[in-house]
Amino acid sequence: KHSNSAIIWLPLKKEYAEKFNATAAEEFMNKTLGMPYGYENMLYTWIDTKNQSLPPVLDPYIIVPLFSIAETLIPGADVIFRPGMIKRLNLTNENLTFAEIASILVDRGMEFPDLYPMPE
């Protein structure tokens, strides 16, 4: 098959090649193949503090309402923040809306900006 990305084959140094577990690497690849990882993750990692990651003109409390509106108008817009929030809350329902996530946060005594610095 042809790939639509640039791939370079570089051999490992002998000491690392001896430590490399090809079976584990293949299992990891098969487990994660097809998972979204791209601009969504990059954008979310840019917002890594509760209130210091955004330009001063953007309030940390405005991000989620904006995406809540966007998710109803633009298919796929929610993929930037919603999946990360669901993971940070240890939820299993990946189809929750921002409004449902907000309700869970209220129940836990949290706000959306509390989720920004949490690791996935």
Question: Looking at residue 24, what is its pLDDT?
Answer: 96
| Residue with more model confidence, 39 or 89 | 89
Question: Looking at residue 65, what is its pLDDT?
Answer: 79
Question: Looking at residue 106, what is its pLDDT?
Answer: 93
Least confident of 11-15, 35-39, 115-119: 35-39
* Sign for the pseudo-dihedral over CA of 12, 13, 14, 20: negative
**C-alpha–C-alpha distance, residues 60 and 113, integer Å:** 6
pTM of the model: 0.60
Question: Looking at residue 2, what is its pLDDT?
Answer: 65
The alpha carbon of 63 is separated from its chain's Cα centroid by a whole number of angstroms, namely 15
**C-alpha–C-alpha distance, residues 10 and 6, integer Å:** 13
Q: pLDDT tens digit string along 57-84?
A: 777 778 777 877 887 888 877 777 788 8
